[in-house]
Amino acid sequence: MTADSTGTEYDSDVEAAIREKHPALITYLTAGDPSLEDTKAYVEALDRGGSDLIELGLPFSEPIAEGPTIQAAINRALEAGTTPEGFFELVDDLETEAPLLVMTYYNMILQYGDEPDVRPFVERAAEAGLAGIIVPDLPAEEADPLREACDDHGLDLVFIVAPTTEGERLETIMSQVSGFTYVQARLGTTGARADVSTATHESLERLSAFDVPKAVGFGVSEGDHAAEIVEAGADGVIVGSALVDIVASSDEPAVDLEAKARELKRGARRGADSITVDPEDTPEPEQP
């Protein structure tokens, strides 16, 4: 349990970061793009810019949930020779205010260590100080071994809820999620988009009965998107491809990443401010 300044206790550092810093900004970069040294500087810039949680991608050669932007970043990271051990050493070195999460594919977790097994990866992740794990190709049905290992080491296992997730499956996932729920804003793969999908509003509506922090990702790239998403009821926004674009194209990525994080965080706050709260009207959160 983690206590915040008001004495409220949360189940984990990840949940605390989102609840306390509400509305939260969650940022993503691919580790090793274009080098692990650069990633360290960029993560620190995102931390200064107001990120409340930072996702670091451990590159896998077959990233089936990613769009072209992050796929290209993963290719650059692999070409630069990024390994799991290099990744963990980077995390060992990082000192950020924001808790760090690792985002990677299941095979990378399974292959760390001598035999296919999830435990060595989770142990090393805990030792490096990571707060949680996100695995885009691991649905709740296959997650028991990883969840048990994460529970044993105090790591959150974040699940993704898609626009197609409904009914019984939604309840199963929501009963297993820890830290926060990653709400996939639209069908398809990651990638910056010009607008906020209507699927976002529908997903948040479906999830409103569950008292777990909800953060929306897939297609979020601007402060205005962040405002709209928070206004629609999200506890946080997740931004990846728009930041990876900066890494790929900016002359001064660290400067621009910090500025972008500030813009996104301001947008999220604007969204929160525009929700007029009348305590009389606020319903008690329903328990699923």
Partner 1 sequence: MSTSDHDHDRERDSEATFGDYGGQYVPEALMPALQELEDAYERYVLNNEDGFMDEFRERMRDFGGRPTPLQRADRLSERYDRDIYLKREDLVHGGAHKLNNALGQVLLAKYMGKERIIAETGAGQHGTATAMAAAHLDMPCEIYMGRTDVNRQRPNVYRMRMNGAEVNPVEAGSGTLKEAINETLRDWATTVENTHYVIGSVVGPHPFPKLVRDFQSVIGREAREQVQEKAGRLPDSVVACAGGGSNTMGTFHEFVPDEDVDLYAVEAGGSSLEIDAESGVAPNSATLSTGTDGVLHGAMTRLLQSEEGQIMESHSVSAGLDYAGVGPELSHLVDIGRVTPVSVDDEAALNGFHRLSRLEGIIPALESSHALGYLERAAGTAADTSSGRSPRDEESSEELGDLVVVNVSGRGDKDLETVLEETEKRDLEAAPEVEVFDG
- Dihedral sign of CA atoms 12, 260, 256, 50 in order: negative
Count of chain residues binding partner 1 (CB under 8 A): 39
110 binds partner 1 (CB under 8 A): yes
**CA gap 142, 11 in Å, rounded:** 23
- Dihedral sign of CA atoms 251, 27, 239, 18 in order: negative
The contacts of residue 287 (CB under 8 Å, 6+ apart) are 211
x/- string (CB under 8 A) for partner 1, residues 159-198? Answer: xxxxxxxx--x---x----------x--xxx---------
**CA gap 133, 201 in Å, rounded:** 25
User: Closest by alpha carbon to 199, among 169, 226, 159, 229?
Assistant: 229
**CA gap 102, 125 in Å, rounded:** 8
User: Nearest distance from residue 189's CB to partner 1, in Å?
Assistant: 5
Task: Select which of 55, 222, 228, 258 is catalytic.
Answer: 55
Residues 126-165 that bind partner 1 (CB under 8 A): 136-139, 141-142, 159-165
User: Nearest distance from residue 235's CB to partner 1, in Å?
Assistant: 19
User: Nearest distance from residue 77's CB to partner 1, in Å?
Assistant: 11
Contact 83, 55 (CB under 8 A): no
Contact 125, 113 (CB under 8 A): no
**Residue of 116, 154, 285, 288 interacting with partner 1 (CB under 8 A):** 116
Instruction: Tell me if residue 66 is catalytic.
Output: yes
Identity of the residue, 145 or 250, whose beta carbon is nearer to partner 1 in the bound complex: 145
Identity of the residue, 65 or 128, whose beta carbon is nearer to partner 1 in the bound complex: 65
Instruction: Tell me if residue 263 is catalytic.
Output: no
Q: Any idea of the CA torsion for 177, 178, 182, 187, to the nearest 10 degrees?
A: -20
Site stretch for partner 1 (CB under 8 A), options 43-51, 88-96, 102-110, 279-287: 102-110
Catalytic residue positions?
A: 55, 66
Contacting residues toward partner 1, per CB under 8 A: 60-65, 67, 71, 78, 83-84, 105-108, 110-112, 116, 136-139, 141-142, 159-166, 169, 173, 184, 187-189
